[in-house]
Amino acid sequence: MITIVGAGRVGTAAALFLMMKELDDILLIDIVEGRPQGEALDLAHAASILGLSIDIRGSTDFRDMAGSDLVIVTAGFPRKPGMTREELVGKNAEIVADVAEKIKEYAPNAIVILTTNPLDAMTYLMYRKLGWPRERVIGFSGVLDAGRMRYYAAKKLGVSPAAVEAVVLGQHGEKMFPVPRLTTVMGKPLTELLSREEIEEVVRETVQAGATITKLRGYSSNYGPGAGLALMAESIKKDQKKVFLASVILKGEYGVHDLPASVPVVLGRGGAERVIELPLTEEERRGFMESVEAIRANIEQIPKQYLA
């Protein structure tokens, strides 16, 4: 069973994409009575219409997640127009710490994927509260950021986004680090396909994409995260060993110790089974480390009682 904690826009979008893949039965959990039950019932009707063989339920009782082998945490306060992800640290730390205790008690064998912002700091908090191996605590970030970079680069190039392999490392936030030299079309780097000005525009649009969506419609993105979460869940549940950009605790890779950052990881039945180190130039390494330092600063904003 796949449990989704948080039946807001991201949680229900993830449930929809997961439902379409028929990976496993889905449980939506939320603290607001009626919300998860109502969303689940609507999704269950949609599954029936589409002829999908999947059970979708909603609950406000965390005990119902017992037996889940994958828990997706989308709960938390979302960004509002004008807000940065980093401004949510204090508000969401309490939520993540509480959810971690529930997961530890009722789904002790699960792999956890987290979307709550600020993503990297909340991934670190979840990792610390659970006390589990890093392979089983994964922050959803790079799939979304790289997907956005693929979109903007493809528009400039006049090709399908499927033809672009994008790389965005480090923080999921204002200090994310898109890497144009390692972003390729059939092995050819973006730096050889676009002008410096075009690349700067692609990078700027990628970094500002979430804020742009939030400003335009008044609330943050949900379809992009939902789609990415479904792909990651599929690779884990089917043991596909596909490579995704995701935030995991680094243990010396890239010269980083005991901090999370978005890097390429192999996702399979064991979770984030392996970190892949990319060959960065000295300039790129400096940019990556600046992004990591921004993550460290976010973590330092977490109230100390939640890290105890």
Query: Residues with Cβ < 8 Å from 8, sequence gap 6 or more?
Result: 30, 74, 75, 78, 222
Give me the residues paired with residue 189 across strands.
184
pLDDT of residue 79: 64
**b/e per residue 255-264 (b: at least 16 CB within 10 A):** ebeebbbbbb
How do strand 168-170 and strand 164-165 relate by DSSP bridges?
unpaired
* Domains of the chain with bracketed CATH: 2-139 (3.40.50.720)
Mean pLDDT by 10 residues, the chain (308 residues): 97 98 97 97 98 97 97 86 70 94 98 96 97 98 97 98 98 96 98 98 97 94 97 98 98 97 98 98 98 96 89
CB 188 within 8 A of CB 131: no
Q: In the prediction, which pLDDT does 87 show?
A: 73
Residue 40: strand pairing partners: none
Provide the whole-model pTM: 0.95
Please tell me which residue in 134, 150, 172, 175 is annotated as part of the active site: 172
Separation of alpha carbons 268 and 241, rounded Å? 5
What pLDDT is attached to residue 90?
A: 79
- pLDDT reported for residue 182: 98
Q: What is the pLDDT of residue 77?
A: 80
**Alpha-carbon gap, residue 59 to 65, rounded angstroms:** 9
Say if residues 5 and 14 touch (Cβ distance below 8 Å): no
Q: Which stretch of DSSP H or E encloses residue 298?
A: helix 282-300
State how beta strands 56-59 and 26-29 pair. Answer: parallel
Residues 3/73, Cβ–Cβ less than 8 Å: no
- Alpha helices (runs of H) in 56-195, residue ranges in sequence order: 89-106, 119-130, 142-157
H or E element that contains 73: strand 70-73
Contact 54, 22 (CB under 8 A): yes
Residue 176, token pair as written in the block: 């994310």
What pLDDT is stored for residue 86 in this prediction? Answer: 61
Looking at this protein, which amino acid is placed at residue 226?
G
- Whether 172 is catalytic is yes
Q: What is the phi/psi pair of residue 232, to 5°?
A: -65, -45
